[in-house]
Structure 1
């Protein structure tokens, strides 16, 4: 005989009460198991919470099924993609992204195609895209992942969208600020370095021991500032996609020897043993010679700095695969702790190195080196053990064509007296260049205005021009354009000397070289001699 309690008359239809028989008694007299009714209610609450959560979050969520049709689209995604959340479900997912253009090489539709073609080898795909909408361009970060069950059944793709327009604009503003400040610093640093070099050469008189010591401290400090500015500029240009590589055929084994020669004096001063192990017959790589030199010099320089006196440094070149070479920089230094190795390539992160207290570094060299290697299509990694040393390695793809050759130049003083026109808006830099030129036997004319420079180029016999790009009246590029389109001045060699980074436009208009401030005086003089010899 079943228990059927009498229901109080004050309960209205649909209310529930608990009974001793662990049943829920409905107001209509129907009894349901408590566990079953509680589970149904709980699932209803969870579903409601999920709907509210999806509608509330700022990130967009798009779920497409295994057939490529939209299953779910929250309000944020609908707003970003300018889609109707009511009509979008059931439509092909790729139609939501037809108005999106790719910020980088991979488009949203390419990423979705890859996931649907093979979801099991793409655990996640994260790309930034630029979404073009009627109100203006928005930058959206998209994260695509396959939906897989515990047994590996493919159910579809979930796409998370985040509007990062403000972050991108802030990053661009930061990059612009770094660029502008760095350019402003270059002109005074050029004067500091240049005049310091001339004083160390004792062109203004004999120096006593203490004066020479103080000047070298000033000169070394200026070099450190230049290195910092260059690092900040490199980071900024890489982040903004403005860093271009001058790709050519590079003899990597010769490059390693050149870097070894560069750091050998530093190693000798610390009593370090420097060895080179390179295969004599290795095909050239395709790369930017200056940037590859920067990478190897940075790694080798770090090895020298962090290796105690009497230690060993080895630069080696091998060919682990037919289509790539591997460069290893090995040292017997202090090593790096495992917990520090995870962020060794991160910017502005310092690792705990016992000998690093007196070493001045911006911690930008390794991140820049890694990014440069990746821009060449290679990869970089490191291995280290505390107390034993470290090995920094990177790979580069081989160039299968014929080895490239780099013509040599011979530094010679001018055979006859030449006249150089120095167009420079910074008086200190102009006087520095003019002073060095006169000491080497040149006749020099200077001006800070582009229009006056054009008049002098016609009125005087000018053999070579050094040209600043930032002038008070007209731009240096306009001066260059007028010089090269005028039959009377088109053949005058022009060397650009500017705080601006080379972008190829000056060379395109006929300049023979672009030298970035601050510069070494000897480098400028070699360029001038070479240009005059070739003219």
Structure 2
């Protein structure tokens, strides 16, 4: 909205021209009062600008001590924000356009200042200035919010030149905002080996071939040659006509996060290597102990007393328990190192369950436990590594044996066909698990205190290994309490449907054959056609 009083700096060495402007603006004194200060040279102009503030500048480019575009530059260097209208007798339209590019708000030919032209031009210049100021204020508020949030705010034009960067971004790059504006982002801040790929992605975005990115990570190099990792989100900037004219990026410095992750990975690698080394070193003496104890129990070393036999049997159980602990550590180390491989095949669930339970007869017998197996009428198959699934079932039943009552303990295995998956449940009649513990029981080295009696503590790796093995199959595992109070561990595996699998394989074969035929037609068919044309 135009103010009732406007302070004008009129810069022109021609007193007649100055008087003409004053008379034209005086016509509007009922609506707007113009307070005009005159200057007849660049020197006087700059003195006025340094001593006073003005709402608008009317500037002649042909002054005694300054001429052409230099006049605009000198005024803008002293007062960059005040709107400036160029008054000129020059007939060169290109010069007028260049004046606008140098920062002028508008230009008027002196011989065309008629009627309301000058007043309207001043009004439009002030209105545009007010709108721009509002936009700058809004931008500054936005940048302030982003600075407080610690985010990097970056805008680039279609050439990759930086048009805007906030304080946080400049500080991260180790320089001032004014030093960055106008520089090429890729040439200055992207590592040399990354520049071609990042430039290619940028060009694809500008062509509209790539949409907005979410959390696109990119390394940057600061002015001190320090490498940072930034997670960016990008969006395209468009002009009023809808044409893409740049890219707006908001980034977060995740250098510390990635470095922490790297250190954790290295720590885990060293830990896994240490565990593997120690467990391998322990296996050799354990094998020797087991052989010695086995020979002694078999009477190879002569007749032994009843007391010594009891001691040797206890020692043998301790060796077995230690061997199982070592096996658990080795399995978990292989899983963490990505060295645990699956040999997938179509496995019948009935035989899988029955074989698993046969190997557990000793455990069930030692704990006075009964078993109940509930299977579907028709046999179903899972796509799985039979040995690894047996290990999961064994661990779950062995875990249940620790918590059931000494008398009347029971474990139930139930198999449920769920169309695309098969669910296997291991249910016990123990005390169950508190709700707060149902998630963490699958964490490494976690042991939930829910034993009936003294119980037997393990390594806390059994259920963690179960979770890893099931997820490697593309399944999931969970635990919940039954209505009777016991715990029910359930896991699902992908179902193998022979007809469906064979059909998919057949479709793939047909597709490959069709592709081969098309290539053959393209190659040999084209050759034949060329041969035919050559004979004519």
- Structure 2 length as normaliser, TM-score? 0.50
Rg (Cα) greater in structure: 2
Structure with higher RCO (Cα < 8 A, 6+ apart)? 1
Bigger proportion of residues as helix: 2
- Structure 1 length as normaliser, TM-score? 0.50
